[in-house]
């Protein structure tokens, strides 16, 4: 059955938005830096939020907003993952959830493994929780990126107490293989460590490499793990605060139940309403159309780079709408995004913010109209030829 790709909104409508993507820079700049997408909301989300505004339903989030049941239904339909609803909890956003879990599973000064290049807030999150970042970079294979299992084992053997996993990985778009995740769980269990898995990009995985939720990778994963996720990246809901924390088992559920009440109260009512609508079957068709659009764009970007920036190195991601592109061949310094913004008027995310492994790289958001993506790459291509 063919799926019609979702169409992005026109640029004149997008520039009426007041979010970071459309307000950080002037109208002469094409914004491709932050993880916001350019599509209309899924109809089920628009309907529930419109109804809430009409009713003045803008108060506090209720004790049972329906988030746990909605997420459990989504996980079952999407991944065949049977989630115990009593193991699902909620908070304002994914990084809030990660911080609160880390505060419970490490002591101040404990080391936490992160795998650069990785989402920049991972570093700040570990420090906010009282931990110390232990870098174990991903292994670049030439055909993708892998978790350095030997490096993680060495870090845990030397005393690190937790692993902060990004699955799928941001910025590389890597969907980690089930056997790799199972091996990671075994290592963590051997050293009595905890794995906290950020799985916010999980719903955006392409059919070529199916997503494995960490907690399903093996029985050991359930014994050592927590997952934190949200509909916010997939459905463009970052401003409506809601994320879910999933316990791998009864012991982790007890930890999550022990969190301060304020952790749950940080959830916005509009965030809860929109996440429930996003996770409902009513939004499945919209998500299929979104994935069709993003799949076409990740391949289009490869064509555009080959045409306009032939020395750039790019592997289409397994998941998500973020491209990790090596521009070091052009001699634009450790942080090429600076020159690209100044001279081509295209805003890209700064590679070095993801770790030292990001020197010479940029991250490009391709969750947009194909013509806008073409214009941006052509601008950067003209800069390379100048």
What pLDDT is attached to residue 2?
83
Tell me, letter by letter, the H, E, C secondary structure of 191-206.
Answer: CCCEEEEECCCHHHEC
What pLDDT is attached to residue 1?
66
- CA-based nearest residue to 105, from 266, 215, 258: 258
Cα gap 174→154, rounded to integer Å? 23
pLDDT in tens, 274-294: 999 999 999 999 999 999 999
**Which regions of the chain are under pLDDT 50?**
none
| Alpha helices, DSSP H, located in 158-281 | 178-190, 219-224, 232-235, 250-257, 261-265, 269-279
What pLDDT is attached to residue 283?
98
CB 126 within 8 A of CB 151: no
Long-range CB contacts (within 8 A, 24+) of 140-147: 143/315, 144/172, 144/174, 144/315, 144/318, 145/169, 145/172, 145/174, 146/174, 146/180, 147/115, 147/176, 147/180, 147/184
Kind of pairing between the strands at 225-229 and 194-198: parallel
For residue 361, report the phi and psi dihedrals to the nearest 5 degrees.
-100, 160
Q: Is the pTM of this model over 0.85?
A: yes
CB 24 within 8 A of CB 31: yes
What pLDDT is attached to residue 26?
96
């Amino acid at each position: 059955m063919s799926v019609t790709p979702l169409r992005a909104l026109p640029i004149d409508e997008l520039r009426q938005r007041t979010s970071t993507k459309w307000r950080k820079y002037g109208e002469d700049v094409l914004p491709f830096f932050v993880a916001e997408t350019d599509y209309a909301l899924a109809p089920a989300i628009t309907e529930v939020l419109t109804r809430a505004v009409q009713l003045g339903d803008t108060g506090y989030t209720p004790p049972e907003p329906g988030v746990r049941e909605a997420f459990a239904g989504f996980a079952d339909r999407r991944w065949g993952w049977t989630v115990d609803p009593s193991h699902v909890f909620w908070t304002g956003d994914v990084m809030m959830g990660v911080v609160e879990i880390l505060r419970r599973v490490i002591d101040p000064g404990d080391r936490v493994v992160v795998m650069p290049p990785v989402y920049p807030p991972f570093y700040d999150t570990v420090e906010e929780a009282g931990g110390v970042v232990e870098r174990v970079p991903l292994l670049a294979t030439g055909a993708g990126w892998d978790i350095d299992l030997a490096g993680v084992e060495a870090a845990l053997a030397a005393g690190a107490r937790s692993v902060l996993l990004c699955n799928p990985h941001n910025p590389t778009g890597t969907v980690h293989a089930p056997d790799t995740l199972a091996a990671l769980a075994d290592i963590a269990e051997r050293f009595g460590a905890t794995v906290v898995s950020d799985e916010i990009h999980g719903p955006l995985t392409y059919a070529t490499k199916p997503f494995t939720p960490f907690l399903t990778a093996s029985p050991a994963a359930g014994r050592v793990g927590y997952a934190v996720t949200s509909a916010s990246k997939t459905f463009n809901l970052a401003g409506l605060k809601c994320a879910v924390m999933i316990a791998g088992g009864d012991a982790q559920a007890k930890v999550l139940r022990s969190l301060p009440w304020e952790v749950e109260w940080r959830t916005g009512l509009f965030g809860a309403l929109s996440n429930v609508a996003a996770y409902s079957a009513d939004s499945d068709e919209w998500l299929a159309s979104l994935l069709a659009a993003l799949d076409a764009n990740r391949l289009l970007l490869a064509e555009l780079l080959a045409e306009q920036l032939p020395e750039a190195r790019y592997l289409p991601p397994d998941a998500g709408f973020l491209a990790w592109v090596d521009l070091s061949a052009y001699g634009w310094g450790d942080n090429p995004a600076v020159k690209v913004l100044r001279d081509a008027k295209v805003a890209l995310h700064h590679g070095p913010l993801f770790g030292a492994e990001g020197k010479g790289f940029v991250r490009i958001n391709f969750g947009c109209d194909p013509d806008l993506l073409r214009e941006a790459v052509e601008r950067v291509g003209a800069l390379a030829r100048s």
